[in-house]
Amino acid sequence: MAGGFAKDGAVQEQIDATIEDAIKHARDQLPKGESLKNCDECDAKIPEARRIAVPGVRHCVNCQAELDKENKQASGYNRRGSKDSQLR
């Protein structure tokens, strides 16, 4: 039950919107187009199995792992913490 001026279900709508935004962001990050035979970063050969498994792949596994570390997005919400930890 929502209190104050918030309508019933407002918290769930906010959670759903956050999840939808995360899904859209993840889909936008998927590679598009034809797979490359050599990595964009290090020019290493990309194995055929990877090119088939990930259509549009542009990086070898090692370079992609580094890019993923750099682009890691932190959530703006502490959904697992207690109410006290969220208020700090």
Q: Given this model, what pLDDT does residue 81 score?
A: 53
Domain count, the chain: 1
The whole-number mean pLDDT for each consecutive block of 10 residues of the chain, a chain of 88 residues, reads: 66 91 88 91 94 92 90 60 53
In a domain, 54, yes or no: yes
Cβ atoms 39, 60 nearer than 8 A: yes
Q: Is residue 10 included in any domain, yes or no? A: no
pLDDT of residue 59: 94
Is position 22 within any domain? no
Indicate the DSSP class of residue 79. Answer: S
pLDDT of residue 71: 77
Question: Looking at the domain assignment, is residue 56 inside a domain?
Answer: yes
Q: Is residue 64 part of a domain?
A: yes
Q: Which domain holds residue 54?
A: 35-71
Query: What pTM value is reported for the model?
Result: 0.55
Contacts of 55 (CB under 8 A, 6+ apart): 31, 34, 35
Residue 40 falls inside a structural domain: yes
